[in-house]
Amino acid sequence: MKIQYLGHSCFRLVESTGTSIITDPYKGIGYELPKGLTADAVTISHGHADHNNAATVGGHPKVIDKEGFYQLPGVEITGIRSYHDDRGGRLRGENIIYKFAMDGLEICHLGDLGEECSSELIEMLLPVNILLIPVGGNYTIDAERAKEYVDRMMPEIVIPMHYKTRSLNLDIDKADAFLDLFDDEETEIAGRDVLEFSRDDLTEEKTKVILMERTKIR
């Protein structure tokens, strides 16, 4: 399967036979999504504009914005209710975490997760091979809390999202604070916007944190 990073919390996941899913498409954050995006499904973690721009995705995708179980050719999707803050949703409401089972891998997109790392939530999320996790704080968990999730979930691959970049106009932290919590050999600056993974590629020896390059508008 392939993972393309489109910026912020938006990824395009492509299963080996071609089924594609776009997570949390955005607008109004200082840069735009690439033109001509298509998908079979779009997942929305919550209703804020920087995560719910499904209208920009072509191909008449199925829009998934609630907890529950969904199936596409070669892909199973599970939406799990969580909170956008650490006050039981009283500040920012609910957040839907999505798990994607495809090509023998379990990919987890935490959306705008803001709640504390509880044993109950971890139990619902496991197992996870590839974790897409917000690290910028303020509106979501910060670097320290994200590291706690990583330590307790123990995925083989971690891909940070929802962090400050030069073009992003949101008041959140850069990814550096999160990367600094890991040893140098545990991190990789990918320098590219598409990564490919298979079950055989992943080992359970140690977690690898990969900072991806955002797909630029061409």
Which tokens go with 140?
């979501």
Q: Which of 11-15, 93-97, 198-202, 205-209 has the highest mean pLDDT?
A: 11-15
pLDDT of 81 > 70? The answer is: yes
pTM exceeds 0.75 for this model: yes
Query: Domains in the chain and their CATH numbers?
Result: 2-211 (3.60.15.10)
Q: Please enumerate in sequence order all residues whose Cβ is within 8 A of that of 209, keeping only pairs 6 or more positions apart, or say none.
A: 150, 158, 159, 160, 178, 179, 182, 186, 187, 188
Q: How does pLDDT run across 93-133, given as a tens digit for each residue? A: 689 999 999 999 999 999 999 998 999 999 999 999 999 99
- Determine which helix (DSSP H) or strand (DSSP E) holds 101, and give its type and residue range: strand 94-102
- What's residue 100's pLDDT? 98
Rounded to whole angstroms, what are the CA distances from 157 to 26, 39, 84, 90? Answer: 24, 24, 23, 32
pLDDT of 204 > 70? The answer is: no
Q: How does pLDDT run across 130-154, given as a tens digit for each residue? A: 999 999 988 889 999 999 999 999 9
pLDDT of 193 > 80? The answer is: yes
Report residue 6's pLDDT band, with 50, 70 and 90 as the boundaries. very high
Q: Which of 209, 196, 215 is nearest to 14 (CA)?
A: 196
